[in-house]
Amino acid sequence: MKIALLGNCQLQQIGQFLMRISKEELEIVWYLPPFLMKNGAPLVDFYASLETADKIYCQFHDDAWGEFATLKLSKYFDLLTVPTLESPCSSPQINYLSIENEFNIYDIDYRILELYINGIDCSRVEKLYHDIHINGDLILEKTNEAIAKYRNRFLNGMLISDYSEMYKKSLIEFGPRIYHTHNHPSNVHLQWLSNVITGNANGKHYPIFKDLPEILVDTVPPVIGSGELNYIIKSRPVGLSVAAKIYYTIFESLPREKLLCDYEKSLYHSYTSGIN
């Protein structure tokens, strides 16, 4: 059975680990995510690989992704769509910017951006980081919307599996830390997604993440309001003070009006009531 995986970092990691399975059982012919191909897509290799696949599993990409948009690719290939695992209540201060930076750091801390925009000196970030009110009711509302979205998309035939019960059960049992950031789930959830794919492909489950350290720990910020000072960037523990210096350096290299626009449109901004 030959399968192709086309999604975000979640399917990329699953593809890399499934490559260890015997090709007689399961052969991964593609797992490179669109975000790594947007600046010069290997279109010939990409289409040729998809053509060889018995099944193609994708996570939905909208029209902004051009040739990788799910609706566009579905004109040429039969696609099976799996859930894009997201948790709006997990590290809600972390998200992307609409513009790239020269340091190739994609996960941006909007709490630190908020302090930067408000003219707070970098040396005070560690002290002020947790001095903010989060609208718990709005986070709960967004989380319930996510659960309903997973369920409805499955019932409407848009997804091959329903993630809503798995997500809800994990939140009740372990809380928001089941994800490191809003789209970087723990290994348990990556394993669930892998099982969905391989179960559909050949009826088998492979415990590819068993006993492994957490995979998607590129960025792990403190829980806002906890007083924690731990911080991980690029999988390296740096602490909140150093994280502030890193982010301020990034912000200083980018147009202030772009930063302000992204901040005002951010989910984090809607969750907070400003600096106390």
**Which residues constitute the domain of residue 124?**
94-135+218-275
Q: Is residue 118 part of a domain?
A: yes
Instruction: Tell whether 147 is covered by a domain.
Output: no
DSSP string, 229-254: ---EETTEE-HHHHHHHHHHHHHHTS
- Indicate if the pLDDT at residue 74 is higher than 60: yes
Please check whether residue 13 lies inside any domain of the structure: no
- Asked if 113 contacts 263 with a C-beta cutoff of 8 angstroms, the reply is yes
User: What's the CATH number where 271 sits?
Assistant: 1.10.10
Burial status of residue 124 (CB atoms within 10 A of its CB: 0-12, 13-18, 19 or more)? exposed
- Closest to 215 measured CA to CA, from 15, 3, 60, 1: 15
Of 141, 139, 137, 159, whose CA–CA distance to 150 is shortest?
A: 159
- Write the CA distances from 134 to 117, 124, 213, 223, 267, integer angstroms: 18, 20, 30, 11, 11
Task: Indicate whether 179 belongs to any domain.
Answer: no
pLDDT in tens, 11-34: 999 999 999 888 888 999 999 999
Q: What is the pLDDT of residues 77-113, one digit of tens each?
A: 999 999 999 999 999 999 999 998 999 999 999 999 9
Closest CA to 55 of 185, 198, 178: 198
* 276 pLDDT more than 70: no
Strands (E), 20-169: 27-30, 55-58, 79-81, 94-95, 108-109, 132-134
As a whole number of angstroms, the distance between CA 41 and CA 114 comes to: 35
Indicate whether 155 belongs to any domain: no
Question: To the nearest whole percent, how much of the chain has pLDDT over 90?
Answer: 86
Q: Is residue 192 part of a domain?
A: no
Instruction: Classify residue 109: in a domain, yes or no.
Output: yes
Which residues have a Cβ under 8 Å from the Cβ of 259 and sit 6 or more positions away? 97, 113, 116, 117, 251
d(C-alpha 83, C-alpha 167), whole Å: 11
Dihedral pair phi/psi, residue 135, rounded to 5°: -80, 95
Question: Domains in the chain: how many in total?
Answer: 1
Indicate the pTM of the whole model: 0.91
Between these two residues, 164 and 35, which has the higher pLDDT value?
Answer: 164
Average pLDDT over all residues of the chain? 94
Residue 275: C-alpha distances to residues 116, 129, 151, 267 (Å): 12, 9, 36, 16
Domain membership flag for residue 108: yes
167-175: long-range contacts at Cβ-Cβ below 8 A with a sequence spacing of 24 or more?
167/85, 167/87, 171/87, 171/89, 171/143
In order of 6, 29, 56, the CA distances from 53 in angstroms are 12, 7, 6
Confidence of residue 171 (pLDDT cuts 50, 70, 90): very high
CA distance 116 to 203: 51
